[in-house]
Amino acid sequence: MDWQTHARRLADEVVRPESRWHHPLATTPRHVFVPRWWADGDQGWELRDGLADPEAWMRAVYSDQTLVTRLGPLHADDAEADATTTAGKPTSSSTLPGLVVTMYRHAVIADDSRTLVTTGTGYGTALLCRRLGEERVTSVDVDAHLVKVAGERLDSIGLHPHLAACDITGELPGEYDRIVATVSVRPVPASWLRALRPGGRLVTTIAGTGLILTANKTEDGGATGRIEWDRAGFMRTRHGNDYEYPTDDVWETLAQDEAEETFTSRYPLLYPPDAWDVMSMLELQLPGIDYRLSQDGDTRTVGLRYPDGSWARATATGFLEPPVVHQGGPRRLWSALERIRNRLNREGALPVYGARVTITPDGVTTLNRGSWACTL
């Protein structure tokens, strides 16, 4: 199987030939790390087996796309052949190579940087080993099974970084010049600051947002940095075998709940995950909102649900008609969304991207830009 040709093509698509990441991309066999994956099909999630269709396998793994490898607690490696399911949401994946490289570039990795990364399938770890040498790379994941399998696949291509199964939000197994997390956190764990060497740098994303946070360790044990202008979204850190999501019954109940407030919006219907700056601003104010989008013919409904029982649903027919909004509970979720859209309409931009970041030694993280500030 001529995977090298595909890998070189991927490298040419992602970076320029003179980039230090071109050689790792061109010489790392991504297919080794993703032999099976879940594809989002018309009938739900459909299992793809690389060996069953080698040409499709090469096209998928050597394209710049994310491949889901775990739904809920079910690894694609362990699923029955031709499996199809509508249950579960992604809990692990092989991140698109271009975004992995973007995160590494934001880390400003030097040739001698001892670096901690998150494991997942192990592909991103392999790229870093090719770039730095395996002795400078530590890779961790909360899922011991993922760490074991990734270790076996790294070993099969001659790479032996330090691997550990641990909760990345807890104590880390060493000291590092760089920490790069392709999972999202809120706030930045204080353990990262303790594990960073003087002058070290961390790169992560804020949970529930499209915000990349970079920060350099300061002499007082804290860190300062900024929210980058690039966008990225990663799965949240998890502490168990799966995430907790509202069930379909909860959403069906929400769709029938009698509103405490009803009004017609002044704006077209928006599904916040489609507008990362708006979603990020809302998530910073109200962390942990769940979203649901449903469609019946030309009629679309967007649902929002907050852990304290607050809810909102907005329904519109067509794309020009303003939606009718129903909301209830302790907080007015759609009204909070409207205020953000008012600000965007008034000022032309939101202050989240480009914001300065200050992290205290105990992990209290504050963003500010101009007169706007938010503490996580």
pLDDT digit string (tens) for 95-149? 999 999 999 999 999 999 999 999 999 999 999 999 999 999 999 999 999 999 9
State the angle between helix axes of 97-106 and 3-14 in degrees (0 to 180), rounded to the nearest 10: 50
pLDDT digit string (tens) for 79-88? 888 788 877 7
CA-to-CA distance for 57 and 258, rounded, in angstroms? 49
The predicted structure's pLDDT at residue 237: 79
State the angle between helix axes of 97-106 and 123-132 in degrees (0 to 180), rounded to the nearest 10: 50
Q: Encode 247-258: b = buried (16+ Cβ within 10 Å), e = exposed.
A: eeeebeebeeee
The predicted structure's pLDDT at residue 303: 95
Distances (CA, A) of 143 to 14, 75, 149, 314: 29, 11, 10, 38
Distances (CA, A) of 2 to 13, 121, 124, 195, 292: 18, 21, 21, 41, 42
Domain limits of the chain? 3-231, 248-347
243, pLDDT greater than 60: no
The predicted structure's pLDDT at residue 240: 66
CA-to-CA distance for 183 and 166, rounded, in angstroms? 13
Q: Is 184 within 8 Å of 205 (Cβ atoms)?
A: yes
pLDDT digit string (tens) for 312-362? 999 999 888 899 999 999 999 999 999 999 999 999 999 999 999 999 999
pLDDT digit string (tens) for 9-67? 999 999 999 999 999 999 999 999 999 999 988 778 999 999 999 999 999 999 999 99
Predicted TM-score (pTM) of this structure: 0.92
94, pLDDT greater than 80: yes
More confident residue, 235 or 206: 206
Please identify, in words, the CATH class of the domain defined by 3-231.
alpha beta
CA-to-CA distance for 81 and 67, rounded, in angstroms? 17
Mean pLDDT of all residues in 155-166: 97
Q: Which CATH code fits 248-347?
A: 3.30.160
